[in-house]
């Protein structure tokens, strides 16, 4: 069976629209810059592929517009961390590609931690505080997925320095 050339070209164009090459990605060290003003230990880079994730970078013209979830990678330098935060509207997945990281959950003042390494994953349901810490002396590269095409911005523990910084940050 011969496929008409126009149909093949149409499929090629659609596939090109939904294919993203690593070489076209940029490490965005500023997406969560307001956090580094609280502590330089919160330094990390988001590398977006599908949507803006939990950073609110939904107007990035260099990403695929998502329909159901977002996908990015996060580069977490040695000794750095992502502060405790909560997404009330979405679940979040952390999948380690390279390195290791400590994932932290907090609920009603009780914390639980798990160390995950390459090819390990933690799924966090909506409504659970989560954070992460690179406890190693090497960078950690993770895949991060959120279960909405445009997640609400996260919240931070009431009264925390991060909650205050978020309120002071423009557009966040």
**Predicted confidence (pLDDT) per residue in 91-115, tens digit:** 999 999 999 999 999 999 999 999 9
The residue segments making up the domain with residue 148 are 25-168
pTM: 0.90
Q: Which two structure tokens, joined as six digits, stand for 20?
A: 């993203």
Compute the distance between CA of residue 36 and CA of residue 30 in angstroms, rounded to an integer.
Answer: 9
Residue 19 lies in a domain: no
| pLDDT for the residue numbered 40 | 96
Residue 8 lies in a domain: no
Q: Which two structure tokens, joined as six digits, stand for 55?
A: 């950073």
Sign (positive or negative) of CA dihedral 135, 56, 60, 41 = negative
Residue 59 lies in a domain: yes
pLDDT(128) > 90: yes
Longest CA–CA separation in the chain, Å: 66
Residue 9 lies in a domain: no
CATH number at residue 122: 2.60.120.10
């Amino acid at each position: 069976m011969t496929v008409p050339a126009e149909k093949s070209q149409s499929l090629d164009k659609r596939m090109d629209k939904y294919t993203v090459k690593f070489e076209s990605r940029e490490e965005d060290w500023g997406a969560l810059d307001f956090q580094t003003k609280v502590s330089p230990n919160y330094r990390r880079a988001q590398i977006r592929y599908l949507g803006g994730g939990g950073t609110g970078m939904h107007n990035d013209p260099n990403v695929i517009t998502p329909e159901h979830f977002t996908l990015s990678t996060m580069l977490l330098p040695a000794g750095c961390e992502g502060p405790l935060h909560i997404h009330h509207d979405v679940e979040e997945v952390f999948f380690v590609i390279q390195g290791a990281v400590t994932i932290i959950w907090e609920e009603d003042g009780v914390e639980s931690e798990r160390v995950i390494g390459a090819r390990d994953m933690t799924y966090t349901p909506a409504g659970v505080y989560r954070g992460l810490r690179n406890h190693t002396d090497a960078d950690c590269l993770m895949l991060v997925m959120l279960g909405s095409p445009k997640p609400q911005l996260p919240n931070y523990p009431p009264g925390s320095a991060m909650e205050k910084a978020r309120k002071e940050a423009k557009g966040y």
